[in-house]
Structure 1
């Protein structure tokens, strides 16, 4: 009997089932395929664009808020400076005292309540029909803490208004050391 000849080394034939494939060779198909990272690159680019857009929007809102704050501060300081200047032009009066401001004779006996002026009466001493627009400023160390404006209807010469309409409310004037009053807009 004759046996077939053994296969030549490294030649064709069935592989030896006991012999493993060399490391990294990928088996009978060759080396393993390279991983495709395209999806990760696309997702990374999209995430970067979204992050840049969010930072841009946040920066815009921070800029707008900062500009608004600066504008409000500027307006507030100029309004306070204007009130302080207006108050300095007024006449000093004590609570309940009388004063004549450009023809408006504030009569004695009025008082400052928790948020208003009570018992105020104004007589027209101007000599002609007129209405009056009186602003009472409450100051501490020359700075206006608060103010309230009281108006009268048209009064004939010598006529008295017993309840002028006061607009606004007074807050936190306990520390006021001076009251000044002006007439006019």
Structure 2
């Protein structure tokens, strides 16, 4: 008479598939007393990796955005400074604005006591939010040929909305028949 197979052990433990014989490597078969371990889920691992990846993407994107913003602001500042360094024509004696300075009307290009170019009656107002000095370079032309350069400086720092007269000087001999006056930053 044959015996029925033994019932499964606790935790779904299966009977020895080799009967009473040793296992495949000659060791006696010893069943796992705890049964088959439950299948592990990788769901938690994928959630954690997804969150870490999202945070890294957010940080990298933020860094790239900040870098692009700083690059753009620096590029704009360079363009603005380049524009201020390029001489632009102004009407002789009229008011104008340059590099956040307002120049009042009534100034004139004249000859100084030594017979060189000079500017009289030049007053500037600092329209910027910061304290700074005014340094302007006036270039005088006749028939599109530069004949003189006049440097003007406020001599000190101007507070915002402060108006002051500036000193100008040139070493170029005065010529009365000039036709164009241009202004740029002195440096």
TM-score (norm: length of structure 2): 0.48
Q: Whose helix fraction is larger, Structure 1's or Structure 2's?
A: 1
TM-score relative to the length of structure 1:
0.49
